Amino acid sequence: MFFASDNTSGAAPEVMAALLRANDGYARGYGADAIMDRVRAQVREIFEAPEAAVFLVASGTAANALALSIACPPWGAVFCHTQAHIAEDECGAPEFYTNGAKLVLVPGAHGRMTPESLAQTIARTGTGGVHGVQRGMVSITNVTEAGTAYTPAEVAALTAVARSHGLPAHLDGARFANALVATGVSPAAMTWQAGVDILSFGGTKNGLIGAEAVVIFDPAKAWEFELRRKRGGHLLSKHRYLSAQIEAYLTDGLWLRLAGQANAMGAALARGLTALPGVSLQHPAPANMLFPVWPMGTHARAEAMGAVYYQMPAPDGAEAARLVASWSTTDADVANLLAALSPR
């Protein structure tokens, strides 16, 4: 009953098999491996973006911080949601990689910025001439930190606000596959067709051992990205093992199948939870992450039964949790968790 995070899961068998295949013989290092050539072609095809630049790194924080660093100057503001991973969970990696850009927080219910809240925050920022930080870029997370998803139209509405100020848009897609499955749209529809300039395309949380792609739809800054990646220590010498993970991930739709399982388990959990007395969800849960509120005493009971998840701040007289399903969550896991949470 592991629902703490999708990154406590292992890797999918197809991925491990690909690693073993990749291990055979010699390969050129630093991204010049033959598998990476194929990965580049896969990503471009899947995203319908024949010019896109594609780079791999081993962590989501690296993907995000490097992506921001090529889009925002040191004196720029990165507009993002109050709860964004880049704001809350990366120990200042964005500030480090951008040499001191400022994250300016945009409020919004359920982890989502709205065009209005974004526009208002942008309007208040960058009005001080040379004295204040300048408007720099927008970063959108999908699936959000609240487990909700933006539709392409919602993403496009946010990037339209960005574009009206001449700002580029980044999408933090640590759970990009889950977002696509939740909304039923194509990779292109969710990204460049919706105005996204750079994507952190996550894999680690969805069945890899540690690999994320950065997809830069306008390749003008590709070389700068390469230099920043190297300089950040994120260009792996035995790069083939990153390539192999992503190749397996993108082959025969594995990535969407894995996310589909995670989301299905999320949905099953949502149905089960809301059927329990006194349990409700704080946010819509279209993907694999749920934020239930439940009666006092539930934590103790669940913990005694071996359930593993994060406890969250809760309203008075209640308890709250974050539950995350993954590609490896099973029907039995869900049933067991629901049993553990049920009053006796």
Residues between 193 and 252 that touch its own copies (CB under 8 A): 204-205, 208-210, 224, 226-228, 230-238, 241
Out of 93, 119, 161, 213, the only residue in the binding site for its own copies (CB under 8 A) is 93
Among 9, 144, 191, 288, binds its own copies (CB under 8 A): 9
Three-state SS across the chain?
CECCCHHHCCCCHHHHHHHHHHCCCCCCCCCCCHHHHHHHHHHHHHCCCCCCEEEEECCHHHHHHHHHHHHCCCCEEEEEECCCHHHHCCCCHHHHHCCCCEEEEECCHHHCCCHHHHHHHHHHCCCCHHHCCEEEEEEEECCCCCCCCCCHHHHHHHHHHHHHCCCCEEEEECCHHHHHHHHCCCHHHHCHHHCCCEEEEECHHHCCCCCEEEEECCHHHHHHHHHHHHHCCCCCCCCHHHHHHHHHHHHHHHHHHHHHHHHHHHHHHHHHHHHCCCCEECCCCCCCEECEEEECCHHHHHHHCCCECEEECCCCCEEEEEEECCCCCCHHHHHHHHHHHCCC
Please identify, among the stretches 89-97, 138-146, 192-200, 295-303, the one whose residues bind its own copies according to the rule CB under 8 A: 89-97
Least Å from the CB of residue 226 to its own copies: 5
C-beta of 308 vs 314, nearer to its own copies: 308
Query: Which lies closer to its own copies via its Cβ, residue 224 or residue 303?
Result: 224
30 or 51, CB closer to its own copies? 30
In this chain, which of 14, 38, 48, 74 binds its own copies, going by CB under 8 A? 74
Whole-number minimum distance, CB 183 to its own copies, in Å?
Answer: 24
Pick the closer one to its own copies by CB: 117 or 134. Answer: 134
Residue from 54, 65, 285, 307 that binds its own copies (CB under 8 A)?
65
Q: Shortest Cβ distance from residue 343 to its own copies (Å)?
A: 26
Query: Rule CB under 8 A: which of 102-141 touch its own copies?
Result: 102-103, 128, 130-134
What minimum distance in Å lies between the beta carbon of 154 and its own copies?
Answer: 27
Instruction: Report, in Å, the least distance between residue 193 CB and its own copies.
Output: 29
21 binds its own copies (CB under 8 A): no
